[in-house]
Amino acid sequence: MLTLPPVDPPAWWRMQTRIGRDQYIRVDNNDYSVHPEAIGHTVTVLTDNDEVIALATGGVIVARYSRCWARHQTLTDPDHAAAAQTMRGQARHQQAAQAKDARRSRAEAGPLVEVEQCELGFYDRLFTVIEGGGDREAG
């Protein structure tokens, strides 16, 4: 047998993942919420026997949990849920304001295409939908 190394091996696992729109990371079979500001960014997930930590760029902690050994659990931090709710409200408000601005600019621009308008009798004569039809005009 070989001798043990002078330094203990690390007791944690490291992985990197991109945070999706659902703002959860999966460790083993459990899902852990992450602060919604990390959505779309790559985070480093450090996991050991006691803890799960997600670090954003610059070492900012965006999630910290005690490790859950049960299977198929979803753990949500109440602060993450509240921040997500606030951000969704802000996004809806911003989308509504943009839609209102777009409607206003379309209304101010006027019609996009000018269409020639003729009296209805012109079409009757054109398609001979007049009394007698043919080349005779009403009159």
What are the residue boundaries of the structural domains of the chain, listed by start?
13-109
pLDDT (mean) for 81-110: 87
Q: 71 near 29, Cβ under 8 Å?
A: yes
Q: Is the pLDDT of residue 136 over 60?
A: no
For 73-91, the pLDDT digits (tens) are 999 999 999 999 999 999 8
| pLDDT score, position 12 | 77
Give the predicted TM-score (pTM) of the model: 0.64
Q: Which residues pair with 64 in a beta bridge?
A: 53
Task: Please state, in angstroms and rounded to a whole number, the distance separating the CA atoms of residues 45 and 12.
Answer: 10
